Structures are given as C-alpha cells and as structure tokens.
Amino acid sequence: MTNKIEYLSHDKINLVKWDDLINTSKNGRVFNYSWYLNQFCTWDAIIIGDYKTAIPLPVSRKWGIKALLQPNFIQQCNLIGKIPGTKDLEQIKMLILSKFSFIQFNTNFNLTSSAKERDNLVLEISDADRLEKNFNKSLRKNIKKAKNSHSINFDMDIAKTITLYKSAHGHKVKHLKKEDYNLIENLTYDNSSNFVNVHVMNNQKITASLLFAIGKERIHYILGAPSKEGRDLNSLSYGLYAVLTKFANKSMILDFEGSSIESVKAFYLSFGARNEPFYEIAYSRPIFRPLAFLYNKVLRSI
C-alpha cells in the first residue's frame, strides 16, 4: 500500500509525532525540531504516511505572494526519515512547486534542475590526539602558540557573543536584523541544554566568542568572531579547538555549516573537515522572475 503524501498547514501538524520523527531519524537535525523552527518561522510541512517521512516548509509572504524562504539561523530544512522512492520524490517536488510562487530554500535533496550544490563542512570528533594529527601544519602551530596565552569560559552570556559578532561581521551580514539576534539569544536561554557558548579570554579580555547548537549527535557552529586583538592571537582557532577537546570521544560531529567564502572554507578545511553538500533551491514562476532577481540581488543584502 502506497503511503499517503499530504501537505499540512502548521495548525494540522502533530508536533509530538513530528519531534518523535526527528528523534528517531539519522537525517534529522536540531534545527528541524518544532521548538527550533517555531522560533524563526511559520512553517507548514509535507508528511508521508504516519510521520514516516516529512519535510518542514517555512512559509513567508513577499509582495503578496506565497514564498518558501530559508529562515536565518536554520541552515537546511531536511527531508527527514526514510527517503522515499523516485515516484514519491517526484510527487513531493510537484507538490512544493504547486504551493509556492517563489522559492529560496536549502535542503538535502534536489528539488529542481537548477538546484545548486553547496558545500557543508563537517568534522568527526575523535580523541584529541587524533584530531590534532588531522590539523594542517599552520593550524597546529597557531593553536600551540595560543595555548600559552588563552583561557576558556563556557557560559551562556550570549549577548557578548552577539555583540562581538556584529562588531566583526555585521557589515557583511546585513540580512541579519536586531530581531534575528534577539530570537537566537532568547532561544538559547530557553533551551540552554541544546547550546554551548564559548568565550576565549586573554588577559581577562574576551578575544573571541562562539555559539553552537547541539542535538542529534551534532554540534552546529551558529556564529562566532574574534576581536581585532583576537585575530592576531588566533583566538577563534583556539575556541574551536576547545570545543573539539570538550566533546572528544563522544561520537559527535562538528558541523561548520560551510561557507561560500574561500578563505573561511580554507580555515575549516585546515581542521581536517570533509564536505557534506546540500542543495540550494532557487525557483520562481515566470511572472515573478523580475521580483526574484530583485530579492536575490538587492533585498537579501539589506
């Protein structure tokens, strides 16, 4: 018997069954849980069978049309559970395309012929000694030097992390607004067991801060930045090293969440990371393509 494929509006989704699916699925991620999704978006879903497979669909209204847009601080909206066969996958694709006039969306399966494969760098966390052997020569040297001048504080003062991040990178991430930072800060306080916040210290001053979300045996690098002084001291490298050491021998994966910036990508690769790509879906119905161009070239950056 073929499993029924349904598009459900948010009020029709059984959130208990939804989170049970995330719990039991290898391809579920912490940002697919209902409590995480609810913080950043209004979302519907496609459900197969009795929550055998599902995919969250963050719904937005742009220019009076129904759009499927990737929310900030949620890297991917995965197809979760048992991956269906070709026929069912095609039905899911057609159902999504029929519901949305404009799509800018990250997921783990190819939704359209124009989908772009994006890098996502991950690192299996083994014991500390084995980890360091996989670091490149320059990174090992920088961390060894940083050990002599740094200390680490694990606390939940997320406000300081956000302040430092905005100071270092705010001009490059203009799509992140005050409300977005408030949402991630509040989420960490309400779900502190699913987050780790790190302050790297030098002479009692914070020289780098990093925030991670934890769940499904993964540590997701949400945001992080060094101070001006911390750049010269390799404080960010030492902060990542401290997190790797903290979770060594716990069968975890550090998910750097990739980067399209070559220098950032090279930095993550220096830790021995491997690529676990995902798909970026960009689609619009022909009549809305001028608006799609405007969104991608102008509105996403302001």
Is the Cβ–Cβ distance between 209 and 165 less than 8 Å? Answer: yes
What's the chain's average pLDDT?
91
- State pTM to two decimals: 0.91
Residues 6+ apart with CB under 8 A from 105: 58, 68, 69, 70, 77, 111, 280, 281
The predicted structure's pLDDT at residue 301: 43
Residue 50 predicted with pLDDT over 90: yes
Residue 293 is predicted with a pLDDT of 55
The model's confidence at residue 1, banded by pLDDT at 50, 70 and 90, is very low
pLDDT at 287: 67
Q: What is the pLDDT of residue 201?
A: 97
Instruction: List alpha helices for the chain, DSSP H.
Output: 15-24, 34-40, 86-99, 128-134, 137-147, 158-169, 178-190, 228-233, 235-246, 262-269, 289-297
pLDDT tops 90 at residue 114: no
- Among 1-10, 22-31, 143-152, 280-289, the least confident range: 280-289
127 or 232: whose pLDDT is higher? 232
Query: Could you give all domains of the chain from N- to C-terminal order, each with its CATH number?
Result: 5-118+278-301 (3.40.630.30), 121-275 (3.40.630.30)
Among residues of the chain, what percentage have pLDDT more than 70?
93
What pLDDT score does 294 carry? 57
Specify the pLDDT at position 2: 62
Does residue 288 register a pLDDT over 70? no
From the number of C-beta atoms within 10 Å of its C-beta (0-12, 13-18, 19+), residue 2 rates as exposed
